[in-house]
Structure 1
Amino acid sequence: MKNSMYDYFLSEKVKEKSEKIIIYVSIASFLLHLLLIGLVNLNIITISHHSKLLSNPIAAIYTPFSFILIYEVYLLLYYLPKSTSIYIGKQYEIISLIVIRRIFKDLSNLEFSTNWFSIKSDILFTIDLVAILLMFYLIYVFYRDIKSNSQIETEIIKPEIIKFISLKKAIATFLVPVFLALSVYSLGHWLYESFFSVTKIVTDIKDINKVFFDDFFTILILVDVLLLLFSFLHSDKFNSVIRNSGFIISTILIKLSFNTEGIINIVLIILAIVFGVVILKIHNLYESAEK
């Protein structure tokens, strides 16, 4: 029964089908967003106190990225039973896409001036651009280090951890409907606040990212701690314990970034990824020394 539920939600076939659906939905949402912007700018429809997401066509890129992020969440759950390291890497991909989404939003609000570095919003935009390049490279290093450690690939098929993998499959299967419900609620809330609410919540990027992803990473932290505790049943290797504990710290740092803004937000995100990369590198050194 468990395997059938797992296959229903997280099989390769379902993953491929979900990818196609998300692509179509992203395209449709992008076109719909553009249409709304056009209707508002032409005064064909009137939305009082509408957000900046309806004032510039460039802002329409923000919407499809929101759906792409939902698919990244699905991929994170897909890889949870397969590889702890790739599962963490997907977390880094998600936070990177959140930053890219923010860049697209800020592009529509830039103030072009000769005093570029005297305008706070332009400075933060520049910091985000530099940060995403650094994050992109760090994630590459992270995945490269995963592949360089053959132990990680063979670990999945070891007989002594089959039960642990089954547990991870059960957790991943349980989380799919949980995150689906959370995403539907958050998406509805975001659409209302973005386009129709007079509270203008979308003027604060911190509040935008708190929709879904703040709760999402809170749940991930709890899941990571649970998996760490269960991992002691099949392995008490020091380097594995430190690696998994370090990954939890990395996730917590990402979670904390949602409660900050500006340069502190970026610093926490970069620190989280750097910490994960360094932890994995040291873990690999331990593995190499034991061979």
Structure 2
Amino acid sequence: MEFIMIRAGFLFDWIELHLESKQGMKFFATVLVSFFVSAIILIELNRRLLVPEPFASHVSLSHLAAIEQAFNLLLALEVVSLILSLSHSVTKSVGKQFEILSLILLRDTFKEFSHFSEPLLWAEIAPTLGNIIASAIGALLIFVVLGFFYKTQRSHPITGDEKIRSHFILAKKMIALLLLVSFVGICLNDLWGYFAHGLPENAFASFYTLLVFSDVLVVLISLRYSAQYQVSFRNSGYAVATVLIRLALIAPIIVGAVIGVGTTLFALGISLAYNAFAPQPEAFVCKN
């Protein structure tokens, strides 16, 4: 088992090195720009009836839809970054979840716009104005609260057996690899459902459901290395935050924005409480 964990750790490090490197980020930025420009061109061709069926029915007639699709691709890249952060810090992983939630809310704003005709007509916009404003303000508030959340983070160096600590990190890397493979599978299944059956995009909501189970698994595994109440409460509380984010994604837009902001405040409260009452470093067994 230890051999498998070590090999999985090497694979994870290789993937992280290439995806999170400066060259990797430049490559993905180029992909995003190319995808956005290509989407606009494809939509324009479809408006001119130059896209053949059955593809034409899957291509929007609104140029604003290109923004939504570009945001979907950006969100997918952010999810990959979230998965990779899982091995480093529970707190960093939670922060990434809220970053993605704020981007989803912004994406939903453009999603509403993509349903409007061109040129824009106030009569079409007025009925959905509440949803647009709620998504935009919700994203802004999450961004602000998340800034305070990151500022509250304190380094709690933990002494203990280095070998035991490395085992926990390897376990999280294995979970991250499984999440990465699962997310790719979810995206492929989502694309198939859209093109074959016209089903709406559901990849990110499905991923957050999977993330709930992985967070609980990390909490349970961490008990092998640290049974401190404060650590268990913090990690369990962050798992609850993931559940609430999942609820925000399926709730009506205005309610989802409220849940999202409230959940970010909840995570901030957990961080502040943990900083105030965290046990002394020597009481820990490992860093998590």
TM-score range, shorter chain: 0.7 to 0.9
Give yes or no for the alignment of 1:214 onto 2:205: yes
The change in CA–CA distance for 1:14 and 1:60 in structure 2 (over 3 A counts) is closer
Give the aligned partner of residue 254 of structure 1: 245
Give 1:173's match in structure 2, choosing from 167, 174, 177: 177
Query: Unpaired runs of 5+ in structure 2?
Result: 1-6, 282-288
1:213 and 1:80 mapped to 2: Cα distance? 17
2:32 and 2:19 mapped to 1: Cα distance? 18
Give the aligned partner of residue 15 of structure 1: 20
Contact 1:22 1:67 in 2 (8 A): no
How far the C-alpha of 1:156 sits from its partner, in A, is 9.6
Query: Unpaired runs of 5+ in structure 1?
Result: 202-206
Contact 1:26 1:63 in 2 (8 A): no
SS at 1:150's partner residue? coil
Give the aligned partner of residue 89 of structure 1: 95
Give the aligned partner of residue 204 of structure 1: none
SS at 1:82's partner residue? coil
What letter matches 1:78 in structure 2?
Answer: L
What letter matches 1:127 in structure 2?
Answer: A
Aligned residues: 269
The change in CA–CA distance for 1:115 and 1:59 in structure 2 (over 3 A counts) is closer
1:18 and 1:189 mapped to 2: Cα distance? 29
Taking the TM superposition and a 5 Å limit, the aligned residue runs for 1:22-41 are 22-41=28-47
2:210 and 2:270 mapped to 1: Cα distance? 22
How far the C-alpha of 1:15 sits from its partner, in A, is 2.1
Give 1:130's match in structure 2, choosing from 121, 124, 137: 137
Render the CA deviation track for 1:126-165: whole Å, top value 9, x for unaligned: 111211110110111111112xx121xx349972532211
Contact 2:102 2:140 in 1 (8 A): no
The change in CA–CA distance for 1:252 and 1:134 in structure 2 (over 3 A counts) is same
What letter matches 1:135 in structure 2?
Answer: I
Contact 2:145 2:264 in 1 (8 A): yes
The change in CA–CA distance for 1:66 and 1:235 in structure 2 (over 3 A counts) is same
What letter matches 2:188 in structure 1?
Answer: V
What letter matches 2:37 in structure 1?
Answer: L
What letter matches 1:93 in structure 2?
Answer: E
What letter matches 2:187 in structure 1?
Answer: S
1:268 and 1:256 mapped to 2: Cα distance? 8
SS at 2:152's partner residue? helix
What letter matches 1:215 in structure 2?
Answer: S
How far the C-alpha of 1:20 sits from its partner, in A, is 3.2
1:156 and 1:268 mapped to 2: Cα distance? 37
What letter matches 2:272 in structure 1?
Answer: K
2:28 and 2:158 mapped to 1: Cα distance? 32
Render the CA deviation track for 1:84-116: whole Å, top value 9, x for unaligned: 000111111111111111112223446754998
CA RMSD for the aligned pairs? 2.7
The change in CA–CA distance for 1:158 and 1:27 in structure 2 (over 3 A counts) is farther
Render the CA deviation track for 1:217-251: whole Å, top value 9, x for unaligned: 11111111111111111112222111111111110
Taking the TM superposition and a 5 Å limit, the aligned residue runs for 1:158-237 are 159=162, 160-190=164-194, 192=195, 207-208=200-201, 211-237=202-228
The change in CA–CA distance for 1:94 and 1:158 in structure 2 (over 3 A counts) is farther
What letter matches 2:89 in structure 1?
Answer: S
Contact 1:9 1:176 in 2 (8 A): no
SS at 1:35's partner residue? helix
The change in CA–CA distance for 1:158 and 1:77 in structure 2 (over 3 A counts) is farther
Contact 1:103 1:128 in 2 (8 A): yes
The change in CA–CA distance for 1:165 and 1:121 in structure 2 (over 3 A counts) is same
How far the C-alpha of 1:83 sits from its partner, in A, is 0.6
How far the C-alpha of 1:187 sits from its partner, in A, is 3.4
SS at 1:54's partner residue? coil
Contact 2:106 2:139 in 1 (8 A): yes
The change in CA–CA distance for 1:170 and 1:237 in structure 2 (over 3 A counts) is same
TM-score by length of 1: 0.82
Give yes or no for the alignment of 1:98 onto 2:89: no
What letter matches 2:235 in structure 1?
Answer: N
